[in-house]
């Protein structure tokens, strides 16, 4: 017995010591991560010194968000790592800053993969075209140009590629992932209710079909073809190659080697990186034995503006409200649009007497119809007191269009995905899964016919289907009326271009869903014009989270992502499917959402 208690006490003591050591290590790791973060934050707050003859180095291989953080930081502490995303607003403003900065003779585009949507790429491309009006040069180089990267690089004065490198030019494609087969194997039925005439509302198709419907295929061919045409037009103008020749290059897969791209005029020349350095040294008149001076766009964000003494107070302001991600009820997170958070942001901008106009930047595939209506109401109230202009990003569709509809003017890029005016509801019937796969059955007692309405353990009755269909149709009618009022069109006209149909920015212009082509800067300029402002400051909403809170949120997200990666590896396709299924799980109520995860390749 003594021996038993001896071993038991030793085991307890060992467990306690192990837990204490684990806790101590955890505190040290967290402390190190926070220390590293604050060290980086402290460094990021310092002004970057830019010497004369310094090249602005732009590399865009990390995800680009609409609104970048005020403090740029990067740290990696094992599993605990976080990095500030680069904001489109920062990229655009710093290209504009470099345009008038005498210390910067030109831009070096370090191109390969561009982690952004087509409209975002278009906005950056337009900023680079404007930069060239200063007489300064742009040089691009890459070992491998993706199609987006080449489209962006095509504005450069000189485009170079590694001699054994690749220039991808074969046309665009977009695909959808279908889960019906998986659900069938699991014994799960996706019970779908969409607007009675919403034949284009194909967000539900992955769960009830194994391929695109004819309506969905037709609309996708239309908007994807529009984006491809716009892309060809831009390259044609920049490289002086006919659109017919560009189409032939893609159709016949003529660009298989770097030398093919040079021969066809897509690329200025093939060279090694050391030879590129010599080209840049010649352009900057840097001696052969001296190093080039360059500054990354991340560091250039902290560089002072030419002629700015640091004091630039302006009484009048334009509010810029960034609405990015899926729309849901409640507060939401930085990566989504919470109805409470964004209604409050719009309300604050409306009530702020120093704010003379509001720009709502929308980059959203939609989400909850109810949450969209809550935000719409605040846009209507704001519009009654001051000019309201919408700037659409890569996607501003379905619920994203819902919250845009009330604006005085809507700006979008030709490559923006918009429209998708339609709604749906989805409720899984998991009876087969529970009964046949798990051996679980259910029974119960209720006081009314519909007391258990919405239970996933059984299929919907005909009466319940009818109730849901009526609710969805009423929501669609409300959606039509909101757009009709905002765009000054009849509901019949909106319905004819609605029914869930997705449009490119180019086609949206032709049918009256948008007013002007242009990005965020064009929308801000229009808001200033409507408000009669010439000199103004910008005020961004929603209010940012406390840096410590945001740090722990980022760490938590990175830890979660690490566990996902541990199971799925680094396969981007598998991770994308996982995110789609997770997104389905989070859907609540009637949805105003685009068809599927749109990824133009």
Q: What is the DSSP string of 73-86?
A: -EEEETTEEEEPPE
Instruction: Identify whether the C-beta of residue 155 lies closer than 8 Å to the C-beta of residue 171.
Output: no
Give the Cα separation of 316 and 336 in Å (integer): 29
171-206: b or e for each residue (b if 16 or more CB lie within 10 Å)? beebebebbbeebeeebbbbbbbbbeebbbbbbbbb
Q: 539 by DSSP, 3-state: which?
A: strand
Listed in sequence order, the residues at least 6 apart from 25 whose beta carbon sits closer than 8 Å to its beta carbon are none
Active-site residue (options: 93, 294, 339, 398): 398
The tokens describing 365, both together, are 């595939």
The single residue of 99, 148, 201, 431 carrying the catalytic annotation is: 201
**366, 594 contact by CB (below 8 A):** yes
For residue 409, indicate whether it is catalytic: no
Please, are residues 591 and 426 in contact by the beta-carbon 8 Å criterion?
yes
Q: Which helix (H) or strand (E) holds 112?
A: none
Nearest alpha carbon to residue 304 among 521, 101, 108, 130: 101
Helix, strand, or coil here: 110? strand
Q: Which residue intervals of 243-338 are DSSP H helices? A: 243-251, 258-263, 273-284, 297-300
Question: For residue 474, what are the contacts with CB-CB under 8 A and spacing of at least 6?
Answer: none
C-alpha span between 431 and 440 (Å, rounded): 9
CA gap 457, 433 in Å, rounded? 9
Q: How far apart are CA 470 and CA 407, in angstroms?
A: 29
Alpha-carbon span 215 to 231, nearest angstrom: 25
201 is an active site residue: yes
> What does the buried/exposed string (b/e) look like for 443-464 if buried means 16 or more CB atoms within 10 Å of the residue's CB?
eeeeeeeeeeeebebeebeeeb
Q: Are strands 424-429 and 189-194 parallel, antiparallel or unpaired?
A: antiparallel
**Does residue 20 sit in helix, strand or coil?**
helix
CA-based end-to-end distance of the chain: 71
Q: What is the dihedral of CA 93, 99, 103, 109, to 10 degrees?
A: 80
Of the candidates 306, 376, 396, the one whose C-alpha atom is nearest the C-alpha of residue 101 is 306
Catalytic residues: 201, 398
């Amino acid at each position: 017995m003594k021996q038993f208690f001896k071993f038991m006490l030793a085991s307890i003591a060992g467990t306690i010591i192990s837990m204490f050591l684990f806790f101590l290590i955890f505190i040290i790791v967290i402390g190190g991560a926070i220390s590293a973060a604050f060290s980086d934050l402290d460094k990021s707050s310092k002004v970057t010194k830019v010497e004369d003859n310094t090249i602005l180095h732009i590399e865009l291989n990390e995800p680009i968000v609409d609104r970048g953080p005020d403090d740029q930081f990067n740290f990696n502490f094992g599993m605990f790592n976080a990095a500030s995303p680069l904001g489109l607003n920062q990229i655009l403003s710093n290209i504009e800053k470099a345009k008038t900065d005498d210390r910067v003779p030109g831009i070096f585009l370090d191109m390969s993969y561009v982690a952004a949507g087509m409209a975002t790429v278009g906005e950056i491309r337009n900023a680079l075209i404007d930069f060239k009006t200063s007489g300064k040069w742009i040089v691009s180089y890459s070992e491998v140009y993706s199609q987006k990267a080449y489209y962006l690089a095509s504005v450069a004065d000189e485009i170079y590629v590694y001699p054994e490198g690749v220039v991808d030019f074969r046309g665009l494609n977009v695909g959808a992932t279908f889960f019906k087969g998986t659900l069938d194997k699991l014994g799960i039925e996706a019970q779908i209710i969409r607007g009675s005439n919403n034949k284009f509302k194909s967000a539900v198709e992955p769960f009830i079909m194994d391929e695109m419907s004819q309506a969905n295929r037709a609309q996708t061919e239309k908007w994807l073809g529009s984006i491809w045409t716009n892309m060809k037009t831009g390259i044609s103008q920049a490289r002086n190659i006919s659109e017919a020749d560009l189409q032939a290059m893609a159709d016949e897969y003529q660009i298989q080697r770097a030398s093919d791209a040079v021969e066809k005029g897509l690329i200025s020349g093939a060279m090694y990186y050391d030879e590129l350095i010599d080209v840049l040294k010649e352009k900057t008149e840097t001696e052969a034995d001296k190093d080039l001076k360059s500054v990354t766009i991340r560091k250039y964000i902290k560089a002072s503006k030419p002629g700015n003494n640091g004091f630039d107070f302006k009484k009048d302001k334009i509010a810029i409200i960034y609405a990015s991600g899926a729309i849901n009820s409640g507060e939401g997170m930085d990566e989504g649009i919470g109805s409470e958070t964004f209604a409050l942001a719009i309300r604050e901008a409306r009530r702020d007497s120093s704010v003379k106009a509001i720009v709502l930047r929308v980059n959203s595939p939609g989400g909850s119809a109810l949450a969209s209506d809550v935000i719409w109401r605040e846009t209507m109230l704001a519009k009654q007191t001051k000019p309201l202009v919408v700037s659409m990003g890569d996607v501003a569709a379905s619920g994203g269009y819902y919250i845009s509809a009330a604006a005085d003017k809507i700006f979008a890029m030709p490559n923006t995905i918009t429209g998708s005016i339609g709604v749906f509801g989805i409720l899984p019937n998991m009876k087969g899964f529970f009964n046949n796969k798990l051996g679980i059955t259910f029974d119960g007692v209720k006081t009314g016919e519909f007391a258990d309405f919405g239970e996933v353990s059984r299929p919907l009755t005909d009466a319940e289907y009818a109730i849901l269909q009526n609710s969805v149709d009423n929501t669609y009618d409300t959606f039509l009326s909101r757009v009709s009022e905002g765009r000054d069109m009849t509901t019949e006209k909106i319905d004819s271009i609605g029914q869930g149909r997705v449009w490119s920015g180019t086609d949206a212009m032709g049918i009256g869903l948008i007013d002007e082509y242009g990005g965020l800067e064009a929308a801000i300029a229009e808001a200033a014009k409507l408000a009669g402002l010439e000199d103004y400051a910008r005020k961004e909403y929603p209010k940012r989270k406390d840096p410590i809170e945001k740090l722990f949120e980022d760490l938590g997200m990175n830890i979660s992502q690490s566990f996902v990666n541990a199971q799925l590896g680094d396969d981007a396709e598998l991770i994308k499917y996982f995110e789609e299924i997770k997104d389905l799980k989070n859907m609540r109520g009637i949805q105003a959402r685009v068809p599927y995860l749109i990824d133009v390749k």
